[in-house]
Amino acid sequence: MSNNSDSKKKNKKQSETTLEMVPIFIMGKKHDVPATLTIQKAFEYAGYQLVRGCGCRGGICGACGTVYRFPDSYRIEVGLACQTVVKPNMYISQIPFFPANKAVYDIEELEPTGSTVWALYPEIFKCVGCGTCTRSCPMDIDVMEYISRAIRGDIAGAAELSFDCVMCGLCTVRCPSEEVQYNIGILTRRLYGRHIAKRAKHLEDAVENVKQKKFDKGVKKLKKMDIDKLKEIYSARETEPQFGPEEWEPENKDYLITE
Amino acid sequence: MGNKKTKLHYYPGCTLKEKTTNLDDTTYAVMDLLGYELIEPENWTCCGAEFPLTEEKIVGLAAPVRILRQVKLEGGNKVFTVCSFCFNVLKRANEAMVTDPLKHKRINAFLKDDITIDRVTGDKTTGFPEYNGDVSVLHLLEFIRDEVGYEKIRALIKRDLGKVKVVPYYGCRLLRPKGKIGIDKPDDPSIFEEFLENIGCEVIDFPFKQECCGSYLSLSMPDAASEASYNVLRSAKLNGADVLALSCPLCYYNLDRRQDRIKEKFPEFHEMPVLFFTQLLAWALGVDEEILGLDQHFCDPRSVLGIDKSGVEI
């Protein structure tokens, strides 16, 4: 036991000597934090408990939009707190929430045209093309460009260009024309997905087969199965080989849908 | 026609991609026949539609100057438009970069920090060079007069427009403000008349050719816009015109697409066809009727061109 705790102490001492610390300023207050932390972890290291403005911690949910600056630069930098590693002397503030208007609509009733977007977000025509939104995007999306596409009625173009948006809202925070770019972006993606994108025939067939109860018998059989047997057939199931030929088909074709 | 086409920058503007695709399509068609390959500046945005007149609120210059800088970065030294609004804004923004050192400094300082993102690699570029107003901004009417030449146009004509009586309608944006636009004399213009004569039309003069169509009043005071448009169309009719020719999508909206509203307010009003100058040129050069986009018009201009609903010659 004593040996064990000795080595722990030794380890701790070693890590203390090798751990590089950097000064950062959270909402103006200085904290020294390990240089390897992300902004999000640095907040927690400094003693903040994140209840809002903290979601997936994986760069996808867009909850942790953050702005920061360095003392020797006029630039406003942006990032997702969970993805951005701290740098010495950064002045940080998270912007976990910013009010944004959101149109209410039934996507089924809309047409995928510019007029639809213009009617739901008429302020889109206030865009002066300053490009601040593009400069503020932590996902490196050309926000101004997709807003331009929406202004000229190119729904498919706006949907494609805004595809990587995580809805963090930093574009909206900084827009001098009070646009809600990310809500306009998701509208164009919904319009595209519902009305423009080609329907997947095999998916419709599969849904139809579910409705026709084609799989019910199989599911019932599985439900009644003994757990060990279930494990066994799960492990032995056929899967598509990673580098198989294009025309690969499983040996058991009971549930295979072919066109 | 196997000759290599001359590359030329073309700024279409938003309206041409949604509400007046007939203007865009006919521009592409005629420029192809005249031997040009059109290049739209990458990532072009709305030009702003209005040139900012206040001294301090200059943010409206950012978009047009960025568009012009992009033309230059792509190696162009000129760009043409067909929309009168876009022409007016781009031309004046360009001029401001030459004549107003403070605006030049502020807009360039702002645009220097633009970011462009490569769609394939995701690489970011920033730190843009200054733009000094060295791209020339031309309206297509001007480009045809000064660079293509009417002689070349006349040599390429395939259809006779001789019986078509046309009034040229300049509206506000093509000519004014005096000294800033330079396409022609604002008080006594002739460029549109010359163009129409050279493509074979019979040109009719009328006193409302530089009057306002009602412009944006069609949104805030629709009745006032109806009256302004009514006056223009009535005068054209009284002077014996079959069709009114123009270059501005907003004039087109007020003068053609709103004719039902004009009729509501002035029951004695007679419908009158309206055509873009590029549609007339395209027709004269033998472009297919389909490309003219005549179905987009409120008042069907087919009879003026001597064809019936199905495109057959009358």
CATH number at residue A51: 3.10.20.30
Percentage of the residues of chain B whose pLDDT score is greater than 90: 85
Residue A8: predicted pLDDT = 55
Of A94, A127, A151, which residue is a domain's last?
A: A94
Domains in chain A, number: 2
Residue B53: predicted pLDDT = 85
**HEC states along A62-75?**
CCCEEEEECCCCCC
Task: For residue A203, give the amino acid letter.
Answer: L
Residues of chain B with Cβ-Cβ distance to A154 below 8 Å are 17
Selected for mutation to probe chain B from A76, A128, A134 (highest B CB count within 10 Å) is: A128
Q: Between chains, do A148 and B17 touch, taking CB under 8 Å as contact?
A: no
Q: Between chains, do B110 and A130 touch, taking CB under 8 Å as contact?
A: yes
A79 and A126 within one domain? no
Of A66, A94, A122, which residue is a domain's last?
A: A94
In a domain, A76, yes or no: yes
Tens digits of residue pLDDT in B85-103: 999 999 999 999 999 998 9
Residue A129: predicted pLDDT = 87
At residue B71, does pLDDT exceed 80?
yes
Of the candidates B17, B45, B115, the beta carbon closest to that of A135 is on: B115
Tens digits of residue pLDDT in B261-291: 999 999 999 999 999 999 999 999 999 999 9
Chain A contact present for B238, CB below 8 A: no
Of A143, A177, A196, which residue is a domain's last?
A: A196
Q: Mark which residues 35-94 of B lie under 8 Å from A by CB.
A: 43-46, 48, 59-60, 62-63, 66
Task: Spell out, as residue ranges, where chain A has pLDDT lower than 50.
Answer: 1-3
List Cα–Cα distances, A239 to A235, A252, B254, in angstroms: 10, 11, 63
**Domain B158-305 class in CATH:** alpha beta
B6-137 topology per CATH: Glutathione S-transferase Yfyf (Class Pi); Chain A, domain 2 (1.20.1050)
Interface pTM, i.e. ipTM: 0.70
Residue with tokens 């032995």: A236
In a domain, A36, yes or no: yes
Residue A57: predicted pLDDT = 95
In a domain, A208, yes or no: no
Of the candidates B18, B48, B124, the beta carbon closest to that of A128 is on: B48
Tens digits of residue pLDDT in B125-173: 899 999 999 999 999 999 999 999 999 999 999 999 988 999 999 999 9
A85 and A55 within one domain? yes
Range(s) for CATH 1.20.1050 in chain B?
Answer: 6-137
Residues of chain B with Cβ-Cβ distance to A134 below 8 Å are 114-115, 117
Residue with tokens 């300023």: A25
A151 and A176 within one domain? yes
Q: CA-nearest residue of chain B to A131? A: B114
Residue B144: predicted pLDDT = 98
In a domain, A11, yes or no: no
> B277 near B143, Cβ under 8 Å?
no
CATH number at residue A152: 1.10.1060.10
Range(s) for CATH 3.40.50.11810 in chain B?
Answer: 158-305
Residues of chain B with Cβ-Cβ distance to A148 below 8 Å are 14, 43-46
| Other Cβ atoms within 10 Å of B123 Cβ, number | 10
Quote the domain boundaries for residue A147: 107-196
Selected for mutation to probe chain B from A145, A147, A171, A188 (highest B CB count within 10 Å) is: A145
Tens digits of residue pLDDT in B27-68: 999 999 999 999 999 999 999 888 988 777 788 999 999 999
In a domain, A72, yes or no: yes
A122 and A66 within one domain? no
A174 and A145 within one domain? yes
Angle at the Cα of A15 from the Cα atoms of A12 and A17, rounded to 5 degrees: 110
What would the two tokens of residue B212 be?
A: 């306002």
In a domain, A70, yes or no: yes
Contacts of B256 by beta carbon, 8 Å cutoff, 6+ apart? B273, B274, B297, B298, B299
| Other Cβ atoms within 10 Å of A198 Cβ, number | 5
